[in-house]
Chains A and B, each alone.
Chain A
Amino acid sequence: MTVPLSATGARPSAPSVPSAPPTGPDGAGPSGPHASARGASLRRVGRVVAVRLAHAVAVVAAAYSASFFLLFVLPGDAVLARIGTTDTVGTSDLSGLDLTTLREEVGLNDSLGRQYWDGLVGLLQGDLGSSLVNDRSVTALLAEALPNTLTLMLLSLVLSVPLGFLLALLAVVPRSRALRSFAALVPSAYVSLPVFWIGVLFIYLFAITLGWFPAGGSQSASALVLPTAVLALLGAAQFAQVLISSLRTEVGKTYAAVTAPAKGASRTYTVFRHCLRNAAFPFLAVFGLRVGQLLAGTAVIEVVFSRNGIGRLMVDSVKAVDLTVVLGLVVVLAVVYVVINAVVDVGYALLDPRLRRRAPAPAPEVDA
């Protein structure tokens, strides 16, 4: 893996992407035939996809193993927790119960290695086991909770991208220095706010004081407004932070600061036509990383607004020491994160003209 790229915190796999050696007999020179160059680049993209896929599988497996050992090599006892919940046993008639039978029933008596292996095989088959508390399958519980969460998350994500770009442009384009510094301050101030508290604040302002929207629930569409606003603003602020710093760098570079004004291009034109494209790449790199955080933020916000979804499931299953459900949640969120990041990486490879068109050009230092 090569040097300064990852020094800036890029994902460790990213540097190896541009360094993939040109494949095929005709990956020859910049003047090579167009069609074969495209073939070579397609193959290169295929290679990138394959590498990413292997990497993604390894990451999910590692996340599963780590949380398995965290959860199951533990001092607590899931079976006792299960008895502790009144709805499974009813009364406090514990003395007559045979704990070993119960343990056997849920498979907690098998050796750890056996449980680990069964879980891993089940994971490959898309089976995450069943809840220790109410015997429902984890996949069913997740399938119930995910649509609500994904709606909220995707809606706020879709809103946050243009909003983030808007904020970033406001912080770079206007002539007024005061306006620019103010616009640059907004996102960094917003990310310092606790998400759950913004939710509480919005409930107080817009639901209690003004009465515009309901304070919570997941039935009506209007109940979606406040949580979406909280999350969309959060995403926009995070994206704007990255965009502002990369846009500022681009605006200061020679092509934008000297060449473009020299040929008579206006500042706005330069920013929109030239800088924005270059500045969008760091944004893309961070996008995937931020989505994971957004998912966690969504879970918390769901609890604030008492919506049904992953957040509720998470809180309930942690309270009930429902190990399999917690493990399932960890794995599913890890999969979501990995998939999004893999898509971003491949998109990166597809969008970067150096990767699309380049024959064996001066690649960024090659990984030995």
Chain B
Amino acid sequence: MTDTLIGAPPAPPSGKPTPTPGKPAPRARRRRFRELHVHLLLLAALVVAALLPELVTRHDPFELDGLPFVPPNGEFWFGTDEIGRDLYSRVMHGLQISFFSAALAVLVGVVLGSVVGVLSGLRPGGVLDRVLGILTEAVMAVPAVLLALAAITAYGRGAYIAAIAIGIGEATGFARLVRGLVIQSQTLVFVEAARTCGAGPLRVLVRHVVPSVYHPVLSYTAMQFGLAMLAIGSLSYLGFGEAPPSPEWGVLIAGGQKYLVHAWWVAIIPGLALTAVVVLLNRIAFLMQENRR
């Protein structure tokens, strides 16, 4: 039955890595592992750059260091914007906001989604499961961006308010994934064995279920991280994230769009940066998923 009806979250791989006909050859597996490690190193470099943007930039993101609209060159790698600020250092400083607000969104999503997923997965079909199921679908019925806009209407603008709302939207996917994994894990041999030995539900959950199912959740997290960055970017683009002097990427793109005729780089390069980070995260999610098979 597990082979039909695939929904939004990736299909969780079966609990133990049994050799299957579709399993990649050992050499390909090794290559995939190496690729994953390289990507994780890149991600680590990105986190360092997000924490300490001064390390990798020479100019201040708010100072007027050059003439307006200087095209990309050796001094200003990404060119300068409409009043002569260095676009490269603006992009690097913007990474901090984009990256950490997305991290907050994913954190909210993982925690909330796991709690809901475990609560409904422990007694599938129970009253709690049904109520949570309807609530989950109600949140899914409203596009995450609109949900975030409603939160912003109520609590004011800001990347971090938007991030929490996006996280609530993302929690639905996590809830469904975790619910499925918990239900599936109830029939695993060692879980049944632990239960027979007299372990309580909480102990079984923490000691046996979580270690065996965290991997798909991790890979889904990497994917949702990218989606959260995109969602927060579009909210800032619409003017509901950070306010304009801030170098948040959506703000940079919205600001640059006005000058597209004179200077393409002001709007296009921050978008390329956003794309690169999202591609990296998606690739990590993919490799994690593949390595489990």
A binding-site residues for B, Cβ under 8 Å: 1-14, 55, 58-60, 62-63, 66-67, 70-71, 74-76, 188-189, 191-197, 200-201, 203-204, 208, 242, 245-246, 249, 252, 281-282, 285-286, 289, 292-293, 295-296, 299-300, 303-304, 314-315, 317-319, 321, 323, 326-327, 329-330, 333-334, 337-338, 364-365, 367-368
Indicate whether B2 reaches chain A with its CB closer than 8 angstroms: yes
Nearest-CB distance from A366 to chain B (Å)? 11
Give Cα A281 to B5, complex, Å: 7
Residues in B with CB closer than 8 Å to A289 are: 7-8, 140
Contact A334 B138 (CB under 8 A): yes
Binary contact track B221-243/A, C-beta < 8 Å → 1, others 0: 00000100010011001111000
Contact A9 B176 (CB under 8 A): yes
Binary contact track B127-141/A, C-beta < 8 Å → 1, others 0: 001000111111111
Interface residues on B, range: 35 or more
Nearest-CB distance from B147 to chain A (Å)? 8
Nearest-CB distance from A144 to chain B (Å)? 18
**Main SS of the interface on chain B?**
helix
Binary contact track B6-23/A, C-beta < 8 Å → 1, others 0: 111111100000000110
Give Cα A317 to B150, complex, Å: 10
Q: CB within 8 A of B6: which of A3, A8, A191, A299?
A: A8
Contact B149 A314 (CB under 8 A): yes
Q: CB within 8 A of A292: which of B136, B140, B186, B261?
A: B140
Known: A59-B137, A299-B145. A9 touches B282 (CB 8 A): no
Q: CB within 8 A of A76: which of B8, B156, B233?
A: B156
**Main SS of the interface on chain A?**
helix
Give Cα A295 to B134, complex, Å: 21
Give Cα A355 to B176, complex, Å: 25
Give Cα A338 to B137, complex, Å: 9
Beta-carbon nearest neighbor of A203 in chain B: B260
B binding-site residues for A, Cβ under 8 Å: 1-12, 21-22, 124-125, 129, 133-147, 149-156, 173, 176-177, 179-181, 183-184, 186-187, 226, 230, 233-234, 237-240, 250, 253, 256-257, 260-261, 264, 267-268, 271, 274-275, 278-279, 282, 286
B1, B150, B253 pick with most chain A CB within 10 angstroms = B150
Contact A60 B141 (CB under 8 A): yes
Nearest-CB distance from B117 to chain A (Å)? 11
Known: A318-B153, A326-B149, A365-B1. A196 touches B143 (CB 8 A): no
Contact A196 B264 (CB under 8 A): no
Beta-carbon nearest neighbor of B286 in chain A: A188
Contact A334 B141 (CB under 8 A): yes
Give Cα A66 to B180, complex, Å: 25
Residues in B with CB closer than 8 Å to A12 are: 133, 136-137, 176
Contact A197 B271 (CB under 8 A): yes
Q: CB within 8 A of B238: which of A8, A58, A191, A315?
A: A315
* Known pairs A8-B2, A67-B150, A192-B282 / 14 extra A-B pairs, C-beta < 8 Å: A3-B184, A7-B180, A8-B11, A9-B10, A10-B7, A62-B135, A62-B137, A63-B141, A193-B275, A195-B234, A203-B260, A285-B5, A303-B238, A367-B125
Contact B226 A3 (CB under 8 A): no
Give Cα A324 to B271, complex, Å: 34
Give Cα A245 to B286, complex, Å: 12
A-B contacts, 9 listed (Cβ < 8 Å): A6-B176, A6-B179, A9-B180, A10-B5, A71-B154, A192-B282, A208-B260, A315-B238, A334-B142
Beta-carbon nearest neighbor of B184 in chain A: A7
Contact A292 B143 (CB under 8 A): yes
Give Cα A192 to B11, complex, Å: 20
Give Cα A196 to B229, complex, Å: 13
Contact B274 A71 (CB under 8 A): no
Beta-carbon nearest neighbor of A367 in chain B: B125
Contact A7 B150 (CB under 8 A): no
Known: A9-B11, A208-B260. A4 touches B138 (CB 8 A): no
Nearest-CB distance from B95 to chain A (Å)? 14
